[in-house]
Structure 1
Amino acid sequence: SKGNTGGNGVEMPCFSMSQPFVSLLLNGIKTVETRNNPMFSDLEPGTRILLHCGFKDWRDQDAPRRELQKAGFTDEEIKKYSALPKGFSKGGIVGVLTVGKTWKSTAYERDDEDLQRKVVASADDMGVYCTEISNPQWFKRSVKARGSPGIYSATVPKSSLSS
């Protein structure tokens, strides 16, 4: 029953990201998301939010790889943690996670290697607004859906949310 959840749907906030960051978030490697706008600041810390995987990959695939190598991940681990699971495809909602507090970071904070490791980005590639991410959970299968900029409302089958 594509698209029609027949009353078994759950409406939740959702945001869209590109690969490899979708996988890095849902695999628990990336634990801070950064943006140049305070996109997440209206959400109560503890809010569960859906994660949509966009069709377009991040413009520089080498940048996250470099950051992960710096953090001590092997090439094999990087490949594993950066990939969508078997049977998953771009252009769908692939999981759910919890947003924590959002804060406006300083240039000094962005230079901190610990924060860079959590964001999986260099200071130059990082957004100013940082949001903690926890409790990532992959869906059993992706839910085909259109992405949107910012935070938007999306509906997924209830069954997607059960572990």
Structure 2
Amino acid sequence: RLPCMSMREPFCSLVLNGWKKLETRKWPMLDEVCGSALAVHRAYRDWESYTEAMDFVQEELGNQTDAATRAPHGMPRGAVVGILLRVGPTWNVVMGQETREERAEEFENPGESRKKEDERKDWWHEIMSPENLVHSETDCYVVPASTSISTSTSTSLVTDGSIHGIKTSLRNIQRQALLQDIQGRCVTPVEHPVWLKEGVRMRGSAGVFFVDIPHSCIPEEALQVILDMQDTTRAKKKQKREE
């Protein structure tokens, strides 16, 4: 049994083919599944702005677009079709040109442990590795989605140092998310995608919902990773209860 999110094309194929490395939502939907595997449901309908989305993908990927947006032959819509084996922490995108970059040793956020904050930064710097970056004059910051700030005040709070964030650029986030309209959205790193051997037909749902996937539909290596993760989670819960 796995948490699941529904995705429309072309983004479903882009993420499961490994090209889309940041999932974007208007709210921190995936923050609750950080660190776990996540099933992907392929919606019946395409993205409402499909043509505009494909224009941007074509601009970014060029002659690799067809392969990047193609699902395996016979993979149905209206079905769970793949799994992301690693979901990272969710970030809010904050615009601002005069904000200051915080070094790892300065990055602290009330309500979360130092270790967890360091892990968040590791996730971000891993997805934004140097070879993936391009020069851009439009600066922005990402701050943990767990930070309780409103959209209207977030920029000024980061600017005056009340909230500490990681400096990047709007262009770099767009490139990893393969989406142009990124301002005001939450972004979540997603890694190690795998297509199922065959789709599991079921109705999708808004937000995160749970699905049962037959083991026979999951590639063997991916299945072992998932089972190991679930064993680790159960062991941690048991240890916590005993404490």
For each residue in 1:3-58, what CA deviation from the matched residue of structure 2 results, as whole angstroms up to 9, or x when unmatched?
xxxxxxxx11011010110000000000000111111111232x101000011110
- The structure with more radius of gyration: 2
Q: Which has the higher helix share?
A: 2
> How much has 1:125 moved relative to structure 2?
5.1
- Counterpart of 1:18? 8
RMSD: 1.7
Q: Which amino acid aligns with 1:60?
A: S
> Quick check: 1:68–1:117 contact (8 Å CA) kept in 2?
no
- Counterpart of 2:204? 147
Q: TM-score, normalised by structure 1?
A: 0.84
- Aligned-pair identity (%): 31
The 5 Å alignment of 1:28-107 reads: 28-45=18-35, 47-74=36-63, 77-97=64-84, 98-107=86-95
Q: Which amino acid aligns with 2:22?
A: V
Give the number of aligned pairs. 149
> How much has 1:66 moved relative to structure 2?
2.2
The 5 Å alignment of 1:108-147 reads: 108-109=140-141, 112-122=170-180, 124=181, 128-147=185-204
Runs of 4+ in structure 1 over 6 Å off: none
Which blocks of at least 5 consecutive residues in structure 1 are unaligned? Answer: 1-10
Higher relative contact order (CA 8 A, sep 6+): 1
> How much has 1:127 moved relative to structure 2?
5.5
- Counterpart of 1:3? none
Q: Name the SS of the counterpart of 2:41 in structure 1.
A: strand
Distance 1:72 1:82, change over 3 A: closer
Q: TM-score, normalised by structure 2?
A: 0.58
> How much has 1:72 moved relative to structure 2?
4.0
Q: Which amino acid aligns with 1:13?
A: P
